[in-house]
Amino acid sequence: MRLSGREVGCVRGGRKVFSGLNFEAASGEALAVVGPNGSGKTSLLRLIAGLLVPARGSITLEGGEAELTLAEQSHYLGHRDALKPALSVSENLNFWRDFLGGERSDPAESLATVELDHASHLPAAFLSAGQRRRLSIARLLTLRRPLWLLDEPTNALDTAGQRMFVGLMGDHLSRGGLIVAATHMPLGIAARTLRVGDAS
């Protein structure tokens, strides 16, 4: 599989965020998107995820499932955790599993992997920021998709949580997955760097 962006431009609210952006990542590779605040790191992830439309250029995934769109082969983990506070930890995970569809793993096993199985019955509203992040990471494991789009993925995680997530990212890459991560901090895994903000 190969993810490619060619001469990608982004305009939001009538303002050019970036233009002429080129990037590429193949199976087993991670791409760290870096740049100052407001340079378009999150916007690029949202473009790849299909949540925004490029002002110009193209983004393609070669070698994936031909009948699925790029968005359907991606997991977007935003810097805000998409959780329903009134639902329990398990119910949140089951909701995303049923809503997104695709290749599934056991939600209970995913919660155990992120060390959140002890809180499976608790409403998500009761979770700490770090626990909410762990629950969002469990979604990546419950529904297997080849492309992970991660926005500041280690935000709110303690040191143990960061080590855990580094291991999960490494495992995803070893299975032939791809990662594109917007970050201000080192990812803890080998990654090529894409700087945004210089092409505008």
For residue 200, the model assigns a pLDDT of 39
For residue 117, the model assigns a pLDDT of 92
For residue 95, the one-letter residue type is F
Q: What is the dihedral angle through the alpha carbons of 171, 174, 175, 176, rounded to the nearest 10 degrees?
A: 130
pTM given for the model:
0.91
CA distance linking residue 197 with residue 2, whole number of Å:
24
For residue 198, the model assigns a pLDDT of 54
CA 2 to centroid of chain Cα atoms: 17
The pair of three-digit structure tokens given for residue 180, joined into one six-digit string: 């594109």
- Give the residue ranges of the chain where pLDDT is below 70: 102-103, 198-200
> Which domains, ranges and CATH numbers included, belong to the chain?
2-195 (3.40.50.300)
For residue 199, the model assigns a pLDDT of 43
For residue 46, the one-letter residue type is R
pLDDT in tens, 95-108: 888 887 766 778 89
The pair of three-digit structure tokens given for residue 190, joined into one six-digit string: 């080998």
CA distance linking residue 182 with residue 165, whole number of Å:
15
pLDDT in tens, 73-100: 999 998 877 888 999 999 998 888 888 7
For residue 185, the model assigns a pLDDT of 83
Write the CB contacts of 182 (distance below 8 Å, at least 6 apart in sequence): 33, 34, 41, 42, 44, 45, 150, 151, 152
The pair of three-digit structure tokens given for residue 172, joined into one six-digit string: 């995803």
CA distance linking residue 128 with residue 51, whole number of Å:
27
